[in-house]
């Protein structure tokens, strides 16, 4: 995928921020998505086989086709589940899950492609093959090299607030996973402060402010009640001066 084409899409997306809500369609290339829509259904021991890879790509293309026909602006591809209590995925496996899917999407669709990862090695290869932006659920606080990787490609990044931890994960069979007991002195002020910490890391890495998008992290290290309060107070997050 040619870089000029990527740059054109990025500028088009950024120039329209604030005019309308942009829609992101999520493609979970995992077997254990929190929402039950993971496209990786075969056992992990088979994820590299040609048959498994072809099946995964076909499933991703079919789901993406529904998203695009519904009018999405961005397709977000992730290879590691972020559900409470999920096991981390090795870098090599995450790359093998997402990169062929990203390449197939770029061949099929004329929309922005986002790589959902907090690992610089995964982002590097995804951006090399043509992904347009990075979606980091740890707001540059998990991998100290990711900021520089994003800056080198001059692409947008979503910085998410996240206080998730195994200690606060509660798994229930019917309700699924959630987080309880994460301490906040003041929910909104703490989230604003920690998002600005991520912005500072981004700036120190060379990422331009106009390439920064904030995500308050609904569902990540927050109770149901806190999620509802946050949903009702997104204007407070918008006062930080970045797209949300």
What is the structure's pLDDT at 193? Answer: 97
Instruction: Please identify which residue in the block is written with the tokens 């707001």.
Output: 139
Q: What percent of the chain has pLDDT over 90?
A: 64
> Residue 3 — pLDDT band, cuts 50, 70, 90?
low
Span 57-68, pLDDT tens digits: 998 999 999 999
Instruction: Average the pLDDT over 63-85 and give the result.
Output: 90
- Phi, psi at 85, each rounded to 5°: 85, 5
CATH placement of domain 3-238: 3.20.20.20
Question: How do the domains of the chain map onto residue ranges?
Answer: 3-238
DSSP letters of the chain? --HHHHHHHHHHHHHTBTTB---EEEEE-SS--TTS--S--S-GGGTTSHHHHHHHHHHHHHHHHHHHHHT-SEEEEESS--STTPPP--HHHHHHHHHHHHHHHHHH--SEEEEE-S-HHHHHHHHHHT--EEEETTTTSS-TTHHHHHHHHT--EEEE-----GGGEEEETTTEEEE-----SSHHHHHHHHHHHHHHHHHHHT--GGGEEEE--TTSS--HHHHHHHHTTHHHHHTTSS--
- Taking the mean position of all CA atoms in its chain, how far away is CA 75? 10
Span 137-179, pLDDT tens digits: 999 999 999 999 999 999 999 999 998 764 444 444 444 455 5
Span 99-112, pLDDT tens digits: 999 999 999 999 99
């Amino acid at each position: 995928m040619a870089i000029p084409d990527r740059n054109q899409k990025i500028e088009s997306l950024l120039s329209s921020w604030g005019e309308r809500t942009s829609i992101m369609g999520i493609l979970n290339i995992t077997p254990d998505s929190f929402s039950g829509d993971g496209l990786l259904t075969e056992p992990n021991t088979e994820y590299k086989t040609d048959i498994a890879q072809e099946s995964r790509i076909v499933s991703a293309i079919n789901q993406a086709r529904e998203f695009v026909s519904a009018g999405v602006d961005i397709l977000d591809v992730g290879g590691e589940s972020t559900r409470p209590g999920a096991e981390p995925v090795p870098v090599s496996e995450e790359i093998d899950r997402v990169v062929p899917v990203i390449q197939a999407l770029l061949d099929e669709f004329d929309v922005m492609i986002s790589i959902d990862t907090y690992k610089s090695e995964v982002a590097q290869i995804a951006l090399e093959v043509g992904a347009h932006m990075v979606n980091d659920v740890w707001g540059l606080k998990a991998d100290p090299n990711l900021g520089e990787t994003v800056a080198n490609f001059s692409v947008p990044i979503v910085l998410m607030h996240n206080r998730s931890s195994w200690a606060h994960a509660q798994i229930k069979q019917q309700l699924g996973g959630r987080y309880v007991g994460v301490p906040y002195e003041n929910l909104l002020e703490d989230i604003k402060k920690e998002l600005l910490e991520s912005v500072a890391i981004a700036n120190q890495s060379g990422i331009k402010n106009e390439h920064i998008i904030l995500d308050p992290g609904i569902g990540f290290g927050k109770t149901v009640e806190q999620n509802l309060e946050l949903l009702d107070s997104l204007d407070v997050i918008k006062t930080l001066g970045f797209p949300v």
